[in-house]
Amino acid sequence: MYDFKGKTALVTGASRGIGRAVAVALSRGGAKVALNYAGNEAAAQEALALCRQAGAEDSRLYRFDVSDSAACAAAVDQVVAEMGGLHILVNNAGIALDQLVMRVKDEDWQRQLDVNLSGAFHLIRAVTRPMMKARGGSIVNLTSVVGEMGNAGQAAYAATKAGLIGLTKSVARELASRNVRVNAVAPGFIDTDMTAALPQAAKDKMSEAIPLGRLGSAADVAAAVAWLSSDESSYVTGEVLRVNGGMYM
């Protein structure tokens, strides 16, 4: 557990899966957590309750679409005003609309760009001012193993995740002089709601491609995000931390 007392974190896509696990991990360390969600009110309320149980009694929900630039800017201003600053940003919100490249619709390509890549950009741009003013902060972007190795049927999704890596490294160089660190975490195959629906045979085949022989958990990813968000990683910026069981090295 890391010490986040006195710090406020904004986690996008925090209602379930990796985002929820990250929010809870930061809560255990004493952070006040602003949980973003797009529309699933019931799941968001469950995540909020878990954060409060973990010790973050002042955590709050913020509903907005990360693809909306103005909404992102307004949400950051609101978090800073209501929660006393913003010290950690975790860009986790993302969607995957898988399809072979020859069948990808224009609107599906654009939607993935808008949420996965532009969404992170909107929030990074919005948090730079309060973080630079405070002369410190940590931004963690959730990319993916497919952003580095590619995957058939995920050309659009992989392109957005590869773009996140370039965004991470460029902004890390821009903000380093103000002690704002920017890193990425690249999960591999993670056991979440999306993979839970897969047949066991499909999961077994996925595990065969992983040297550690199992799918990762949301907690595995959250632990990496928590470390990069903490002062324990104060000399780490511009990095991509792979949490994939060795499937891509």
Residue 208 belongs to some domain of the structure: yes
Q: Is the pLDDT of residue 196 over 80?
A: no
Residue 248 belongs to some domain of the structure: no
Q: Rounded to 5 degrees, what are φ and ψ at 62?
A: -135, 110
Alpha-carbon distance of 68 to 50, in angstroms, equals 27
Q: Is there a catalytic annotation at residue 37?
A: no
| Domain enclosing residue 150, as ranges | 8-241
Q: Please provide the DSSP assignment of 21-41 as one string.
A: HHHHHHHHTT-EEEEEESS-H
What are the Cα distances from residue 97, in Å, to 110, 160, 217, 220? 11, 12, 22, 24
* Domain CATH for 216: 3.40.50.720
Number of domains the chain contains: 1
Catalytic residue among 37, 157, 235, 248: 157
Radius of gyration of the chain (CA): 17
Q: What is the pTM of this model?
A: 0.97
C-beta separation of 23 from 35 below 8 A: yes
Q: Residue 165 — pLDDT band, cuts 50, 70, 90?
A: very high
Rounded to 5°, the CA angle 192-194-196 comes to 65
Closest CA to 161 of 144, 149, 140: 144
Residue 193 belongs to some domain of the structure: yes
Residue 3 belongs to some domain of the structure: no
Residue 249 belongs to some domain of the structure: no
> What pLDDT, in 10s, does the model give residues 87-109?
999 999 999 999 999 999 999 99
Reported residue count of the chain is 249
